Amino acid sequence: MKKTDTIIIGAGPVGLFAVHQLGIKGLKSIVIDNLDKAGGQCIELYPDKPIYDIPAVPECTGEELTNKLLEQIKPFKTEFFLNERVEEVKQDKENWIVKTNNNNEFSAPNIIVAGGVGSFEPRKLTAKEAEKFEDKFLFYAVKDKEQFKNKNISIFGGGDSALDWALELSKFSKINLIHRRDEFRGAPHTLSEIKKLEKEGKIFIKTPCQLESIEGKDKIDTITIKFDSGKTEQIKTDVVLSFFGLIMKLGPIAEWGLNMNKKTIEVNSKNFETNKKGIFAAGDICSYPGKLKLILSGFHEVALAAVECFKRARPNEKYRFEFTTSSKTIQSRLGKK
Amino acid sequence: MPKITYNDNQGNSKTIEVENGLSVMEGAIQNDIPGIDADCGGSMACATCHVYVEEKWLNKLPKVEEAEVDMIDMAYEPKKNSRLSCQLIVSEELDGLIVTTPSKQS
């Protein structure tokens, strides 16, 4: 079990800034996130979209904001546990024990939940047979492309992931690319490559249509797709790949005994503590009278929560409010002379 | 104030008055209409405020932008009359609008 001063759940902008606010007070933290990289919604939903309301930053993209925040917290050498989802939170006297789906365990007097709208998970196909074949013959991501050699592959989706994998896997497999409308959304170069391969008979494009059913007993034999015209077609298929983006699921957070309001965690607006002492919530996931779901609000929330975290992690020390411009202690923590 | 009717796929129906300038999504969230999640809060990034619009209204709605169609690709069971309710801004012209929520949002 790893011990730290604060466990931060969520590596979005608010979680990252929490590292900073704790760090300048001399508190250690670790960060856990279900995605494979830091940035949260900024990186997953709108990496290229400009944001115009970060104070003193007239314009930056989600990706730029994330990179700047990572740079800002570099001096604290914080350990990140990515691709991991927190499953369990339990109390152990003054501390909280957090367990992840990767069997990592952490202990700390404080937890800051900066989990946005929950953890990102692939949006799944709804055909009722889909679950039965999942992870064996039906996948929402490609981890090892070797397993898709010399197969009949049916790919669903019209965005970059669907197009890129159609292109890549067509090198050694027969591809059906299935989309609900005639237009695809991808890089122009990718689109022209796809069209070329369609002419060569390596990729079969089926539009506008959607999945109707999957047939097969122990493995997938065929799938049936239904066109907008009402016509259906059965396609010989060994493997189904589906790329309909990610969806946010609150997941286990709802089971930690925190007071919830719809999908948000209720906090006080003094230090953003929940109904459980030592568990704080900040950013989109918290609610209090007047809450605004803005990144800048999350920054304010973690700044105040960090003060309470200090008091709990250092009960024998007095908290002193300091400015980064004048405090020698903070400056040395930031690696400045 | 314009009246908007929200039907769910079970046949339940609720008609509420929504202030001009709010989105059809915000009208639903503020009035606890079930079936619209709006996880991203209206930034057109999640497709969980997806609704089906009664056909006759389709032409009266603000035009669908590319980004919205791309997002609808991700939605649960999209149809020809699919829209994201966060992009439908309520005005007097939309008085009487009827939308139906899909059987689920994700």
Does residue A121 have a pLDDT over 90?
no
Q: Residue with structure tokens 């139906």?
A: B100
Which of A172-181, A283-292, B4-13 is least confident?
A: B4-13
Q: Which residues contact B55 (CB under 8 A, 6 or more apart)?
A: B81
Q: Does B78 touch chain A (CB under 8 A)?
A: yes
Number of Cβ within a 10 Å radius of residue A141: 10
User: By the 8 A CB rule, do B104 and A124 touch?
Assistant: no
For the question of an ipTM over 0.90, the answer is: no
Contacts of A284 in chain B (CB under 8 A): 41
Q: Which of A126, A228, A244 sits opposite B74 (nearest CB)?
A: A244
**Least CA distance to A212: which residue of chain B?**
B77
Does residue A58 have a pLDDT over 90?
yes
Q: Does A46 touch chain B (CB under 8 A)?
A: yes
Contacts of B39 in chain A (CB under 8 A): 117, 247-248, 263
Contacts of A209 in chain B (CB under 8 A): none
pLDDT for residue A148: 94
- Cα A305 from Cα A290, distance rounded (Å): 17
* Chain A: closest CA distance from residue B32 (Å): 10
CATH class of this structure's domain A2-120+246-333 = alpha beta
pLDDT for residue A250: 85
Q: Does B43 touch chain A (CB under 8 A)?
A: yes
Q: Which of A122, A120, A113 is nearest to A10 (CA)?
A: A113
Q: Does B80 touch chain A (CB under 8 A)?
A: yes
pLDDT tens per residue, range A252-304? 898 999 999 888 999 999 999 999 999 999 999 999 999 999 999 999 999 99
What's the pLDDT band for A96 if we cut at 50, 70, 90? very high
pLDDT for residue A36: 92
Give the residue range(s) of CATH 3.50.50.60 domains in chain A.
2-120+246-333, 124-242
CATH: 1.10.1060.10, 2.40.10.120, 3.40.190.10, 3.50.50.60. Which one for A124-242? Answer: 3.50.50.60
Does residue A13 have a pLDDT over 80?
yes
